[in-house]
Structure 1
Amino acid sequence: MSDPEPLTLTETAAETGRARTAIARRLADIICLPSSVISPQERWIVGDLLYEILRNSDARIRRRCALRLSEIKDAPANIVKLLAADELDIATPLLQASEAVSDFDLMEISRLGTTGHRVLIAERLSVSETVTAALASMSEPAVITALLKNHGARLAPPTVNHIVALAQDEAGYVASLLKRQELRPRAALQLFWHCDHPNRKLVLQRFAVGRSLMIEASEEVFAMAAAEGWADPLVNRALKFVDRRQRNREASDVSEYGSMEGLISQIRLRGAEPELIGELGLMAGISDSLIGRICDDPGGEPLAILCKATGADRAFLEQLCEGLGGFSESEGLRRATAIYDALSVEKAQTVLRYWDWSKAGDGRQK
């Protein structure tokens, strides 16, 4: 992506003599006086005079004024914006620390400035959600890395989701994303697919939770929904997430393989035949897109979650790994069994169902 055109002064700055340097310094001195000495009206008038001088002065004068005004909380907004959008070495003190730069101006500078301007904005002591959204929308690795490392930068859920989507191609975002308090289950469990094994373990440790409260609160709703003939699709969708049972018993009853374990034994012998994989998803009670993603994943951890959630013993996890990718003698099996042993059935079910509920399985394959 090419950088947008940077903001520039409205006229070519001319080389200036001692008089212009002196008047610029004097006016800046007046602007920096405390409010007990100068009224807001007088400060604004002086600011208008200084603004006109700075627009047509050389970089030396602009740099000096920027450094001086960076510490003034109520510095004139027009001058602050002019200098904050200037060449990077002039803009730096204002973009780093000035409280006089408004969010609106920061968003405009982020849109029209250079990558260097955006990195400085991302590193500010405090960055609002609207400004971080504008910065992240450019999808520049240097800027997003600065945002993720800055815990004074507040990230709205859409911004987090955008960065999670970018993490598929920018693995360096993953570790920093996992440290953000704004990360929510939906984004984290989508991020899981882009993580290495240690970070997948961190995702599961933080977001694989039980559903005891939901189960207890919803017990009588199952009877209500059944009495209504399961007519409300939204209720059905929510209850499917809460249900204690993971396997589709009806699918097992009509299957020629008799059970999920029988089907896994066939996958071990015949490999990842589409018909077998489709039936595996049906027996597990999950969507075709999710079972496809689980079986295509090269890491092995999703297979462990599938087996633990459905109550399949570790021996069948080993058979499934062997049939799908030759994991039985590889590091993949070690990763899979480590996840299998670390998760309870209920927590594995939460992850599996949340993937399906949130359509996390509909993303691009790794």
Structure 2
Amino acid sequence: MASEPALDLTDQVPNNPPRRARMTLLRRLIDVVALPSSRIPPQDRSMAGDVLLEMLFDADDRERAFCARRLIPTHEAPRRILRYLGLCRIEISKDLLEQNESFDDSDLTYILRKGTPLHAEAISKRKTLAPAVCDALIEVGHPTAVVNMLTSRRSFISETGMDDLLEASRDHLEYCPLLVQRSEMKPHHAMTMFWWSESEEREQILMRYSADRSELIEICGDVFAMAAAENWADPVARKTLQLIERRQRNRAAIERSRYESLEDAIEHAEKSGMDRELAQEIGYLGGIKPITAAKILTDPGGEALAVFCKATGLKRHYLSRLWAALRRPTEIGPGNLHPHYERIRDVYEMLSVAKAQSTLRYWNWSLSSSFRNRNAEDHIEDETDREFSSSHRTARLVFGD
């Protein structure tokens, strides 16, 4: 019986050694690690994987690409090899990253943090993206990969991931139309993103994410009497009840005002033009804080103005008068509405009073949160509270604080 040829264990290696044996051995090891578990013990697969990985370190791109293609359909390949191949040049790793199902969330997160934007794009095209992988894609922040993730119906985004995407959408407006369609988006996300969204997304936000507060009003209705009996002395209860209350206009402000009504103030603004004092007065009469009124009246899109008018019970022609008071055209000729104003009027018509009030109250509650007068001696703001607070986040993102 012929014996196997003896291995040469000396350190002398030819300058250009033949590679036929190496290529054959590489292919055989790939075949071994690609075997199903029913065909090979896990110990043998692990040993073969260790040896194969060492050989891949010295392989050229053509050999690594061959290995990557061969391992695409496998479900049990050693993940250390998959991670290594996943971080190779994108020409080698692309199909493996997109299609192989053996990668776990930890593997993909590792590759995202160590790889290039092209690696992120490949991972974003996988059939399913778990929350941890989505979080890593968002952290990497490559816009094309994020758009792929948002477009996928099999990507699952965590709430913290949505918080980060909301912030990123200020600089990447292409995220906004995709975020509006996501089931993970909450009303507080949508109502914040409204301020930098385009008109189409704004209309979707107002139609899909506005609440009518009916359950809140019913459940908390008796608390108003309790707070009134305490003379509204508790600022936290007062601020919260202002978000829930049915009545939008501020009766106390009307009694103090030099104008007879909100309508009267708007008529004066139409005649004389809008100034800061009149804008604040319109805000007070409409039951909102000056900072909220300023944001609404200076909003270039105008949809917020439609919300304000509907929420405060203003008739349609007062929307026109308020629009004119801001020196915005309502017509482009006799009998022809200006397209911008016509679109805002349509938003006004589509909104219900209840949903417009909820939207306006949420904005007022959240936008004014960072502008409250606080006594440093009796209020200590915890940094954790700030991080979790929806109202504080909204104010910070809208005003850039």
TM beyond 0.5: yes
Q: How many pairs does the alignment contain?
A: 352
Selected match of 2:340 from 332, 340, 347: 332
- Among 160, 172, 175, the alignment partner of 2:174 is 172
Give, as a single letter, the amino acid of the residue that structure 1 aligns with 2:362: Y
Alignment of 1:137-216 (within 5 A): 137-216=139-218
Give, as a single letter, the amino acid of the residue that structure 2 aligns with 1:136. Answer: I
- Residue of structure 2 equivalent to 1:63: 65
- Cα offset, 1:16, TM superposition: 7.7
Task: Determine the C-alpha separation between the residues in 2 that align with 1:24 and 1:186.
Answer: 55
Distance 1:74 1:228 in 2: 68
Cα displacement string for residues 183-230 of structure 1 (whole angstroms, at most 9, x for unaligned residues): 110111122222332322211111123121111111112122223443
Aligned to 1:356: 364
**2:37 match:** 35
1:8 is aligned to none
- Structure 2, unmatched stretches of 5+, are 1-15, 332-337, 368-393
CA distance in 2, matches of 1:364, 1:331: 29
TM superposition outliers: structure 1 runs of 4+ over 4 Å? none
C-alpha distance in 2, partners of 1:79/1:301? Answer: 54
Q: CA deviation at 1:335?
A: 1.7
* Corresponding position of 1:101: 103
Say if 1:293 and 1:361, in contact at 8 Å, map to a contact too: no
Is the contact between residue 289 and residue 361 of structure 1 (CA under 8 Å) also seen in structure 2? no
Give 1:30 deviation, angstroms: 0.8
Q: Is the 8 Å Cα contact of residues 37 and 76 (structure 2) preserved in structure 1?
A: no
Partner of 2:377: none
Counterparts of residues 79-98 of structure 1 (less than 5 Å)? 79-98=81-100
Please say which of residues 49-58 and 131-140 is displaced more in the overlay.
Answer: 131-140
Q: TM-score, normalised by structure 1?
A: 0.91
Determine the C-alpha separation between the residues in 1 that align with 2:312 and 2:196. Answer: 24
Give percent identity, aligned residues only. Answer: 37
8 A Cα contact 1:208 1:347, kept in partner: yes
Q: For residues 327 and 205 of structure 1, what CA distance do their matches in structure 2 show? A: 26
Name the counterpart of 2:243: 241
Give the equivalent residue in structure 2 for 1:5: none
**1:77–1:101 contact (8 Å) kept in structure 2:** yes
Q: Which moved more, 1:345-354 or 1:319-328?
A: 319-328
Larger Rg: 2
Pair 1:323 & 2:305 matched? no
- The offset of 1:71, in angstroms, is 1.6
Corresponding residue for residue 302 of structure 1 = 304
Which AA in structure 2 matches 1:305? V
Is the counterpart of residue 293 in structure 1 residue 295 in structure 2? yes
Structure-2 separation of matches of 1:361 and 1:352: 14
Q: Relative contact order: is structure 1 or structure 2 higher (C-alpha 8 Å, sep ≥ 6)?
A: 1
Larger CA deviation: 180-189 vs 283-292: 283-292
Q: Please tell me the residue identity of whatever aligns with 2:236.
A: L
TM-score (norm 2): 0.83
**How far does the alpha carbon of each residue in 1:284-335 deviate from its partner, in whole angstroms, 9 at most, with x for none?**
2223222111111122211111011011111111111011132322323212
The one-letter amino acid paired with 1:96 is E
**After the TM superposition, which of the residue ranges 264-273 and 178-187 deviates more from structure 2?**
264-273
Aligned mates of 1:344, 1:143 — CA distance in 2: 38
* Structure 1 unaligned residues grouped into runs of 5+: 1-13
Mapped to 2, the partners of 1:82 and 1:331 lie a distance apart of 57
Counterpart residue number, 2:135: 133
